[in-house]
Amino acid sequence: MALIAAAVHGGPAEADSEGVKTVTILGSTGSIGCSTLDLIGRERSRFDLVALTAHRNVKMLIEQAREHRPHLAVVADPACYAELKAGLSGTGIETAAGPEAVAAAAALPADWVMAAIVGAAGLAPTLAAVKRGTCVALANKECLVSAGPLFLDEVSRSGTTLLPVDSEHNAIFQVLDANRLESVEQIVLTASGGPFRTWSLEEMARATPAQAVAHPRWDMGAKISVDSATLMNKGLELIEAHYLFPVGEERLDVVIHPESIVHSMVAYIDGSVLAQLGMPDMRTPIAHALAWPRRMSTPSARLDLAQIGQLTFEAPDLKRFPALALAREALRIGGGAPTVLNAANEVTVAAFLAGRIGFPDIVAITDTVLEHAEALGAPPAGLADVYELDRIARIRAEEMVQRCGC
């Protein structure tokens, strides 16, 4: 398949063309979507927007559509359609609503699709884009976490080029000799440690949603910020890296790096360690994927190592942050375990943000649901199985949330 510059798993690389690139953005109102539009807006002549989609932030979608003029704007929540249609009346921009419309937008002809819908909801539209055999910039972890083998089979079948957008995976992409994976000794993903890196277990037990989403380095949505606070985000990235860079789980590692300057590293058997560095700004990895195989200018702050002074690294504390070990366990169990892990985590994070459970309950409940992963259903043999296992895991997680009595 044409995965990661057609190098990791083989396949034809994208043509090195300087023509106008047609673009669809799935999840345009999220932080990744907004950053993508910021880059496109700076070089409008290079890009033609096919479609923008959003979940229910219809006001922002209308603003984006009026400014960037896509051919189509889609809102996933049908209840928002009337507002979307009225807001874009007279613009000539087509409108649609519903999950099926989002998937249909993803399947429209486009040279490049940003897959930035957060959570399992992004799986169907991202697959729709993949099936068309285009270039997909992947910012949705759940596609690989919940349905890794199935998703990659479809990538291979369609000849899609899959480019990683997460800062860590994009960093690995930039420094990995993907044609000689046998020379890779270790792939090291870096983690900021989140807002609670130095907090005690007692302090974290009292953590509020506002504190959890206040990430010290990155500007991210609430769900991803909470995942960063638990280190589940890094656990999900570990699973994602397992599928993107098939060197084996034992050669994947995580190190805490609070400055978020080194975005990931690849160590080789000769002792060399190659790393990608840059200021913490998602526009850098997005631009790398958007312009690939070339590069494009970004407004990101430039790295000044002398001004930063020092870079620090530490091993993750698995006692205070057990989510990382939990994700690795799900990867080792295999089958439907990563699907269960992701579903339970989404439910518990939403419950925490709603004030229904405490911060430590996020991982504790997810852990308990994962313990019974094999009893929830057989390993998914198709997408329908993934959705069914996801549904059952969410029910179990919600039952446990309710038992907390919050």
Q: CA 312 to CA 305: how far, in whole Å?
A: 13
Could you please state the CATH topology (level 3) that the domain comprising 334-403 is classified under.
Rna Polymerase Sigma Factor; Chain: A (1.10.1740)
Which residue is listed with tokens 């002549």? Answer: 45
Say if residues 258 and 190 touch (Cβ distance below 8 Å).
Answer: no
Say if residues 112 and 46 touch (Cβ distance below 8 Å).
Answer: no
**Polymer length in residues for the chain:** 406
Task: Give φ, ψ of 270 to 5 degrees.
Answer: -90, 5
Which residue is listed with tokens 């972890």? Answer: 141
Say if residues 370 and 363 touch (Cβ distance below 8 Å).
Answer: no
Residue 124: the pLDDT is 92
Q: Shortest CA distance to 116 belongs to which of 350, 346, 286, 298?
A: 286
Residue 379: the pLDDT is 77
The pTM assigned to this predicted structure is 0.90
Radius of gyration of the chain from its Cα atoms, rounded to whole angstroms? 20
pLDDT tens, per residue, the chain with 406 residues = 334 444 333 333 444 456 899 999 999 999 999 999 999 999 999 999 999 999 999 999 999 999 999 999 999 999 999 999 999 999 999 999 999 999 999 999 999 999 999 877 899 999 999 999 999 999 988 899 999 999 999 999 999 999 999 999 999 999 999 999 999 999 999 999 999 999 999 999 999 999 998 877 766 678 889 999 999 999 999 999 999 999 999 999 999 999 999 999 999 999 999 999 999 999 999 999 999 999 999 999 999 999 999 999 999 999 999 999 999 999 999 999 999 999 999 999 999 999 999 999 999 999 999 998 877 777 788 888 999 999 999 999 999 999 986 5
Residue 7: the pLDDT is 34
Residue 157: the pLDDT is 94
Domain boundaries, the chain: 4-165, 170-281+303-308, 334-403
Give the max Cα distance, the chain: 62
Cis before 125? omega within 30: no
Q: 96: which residues sit within 8 A by CB, 6+ positions away?
A: 72, 73, 74, 81, 104, 105
Residue 221: the pLDDT is 74
Distances (CA, A) of 14 to 7, 243, 293: 11, 21, 7
Asked if the domains at 4-165 and 334-403 fall in one CATH topology, the answer is no
Q: Shortest CA distance to 122 belongs to which of 35, 59, 30, 189?
A: 30
Q: 282: which residues sit within 8 A by CB, 6+ positions away?
A: 31, 32, 35, 165, 167, 218, 219
Task: Give φ, ψ of 225 to 5 degrees.
Answer: -65, -40
Q: Hey, which bits of 152-291 come out as E strands?
A: 161-164, 184-191, 252-256, 262-268, 273-277
Candidate CATH numbers 3.40.50.720, 3.40.50.2020, 3.40.50.2300, 3.90.1150.10; the one for domain 4-165 = 3.40.50.720
Q: 44: which residues sit within 8 A by CB, 6+ positions away?
A: none
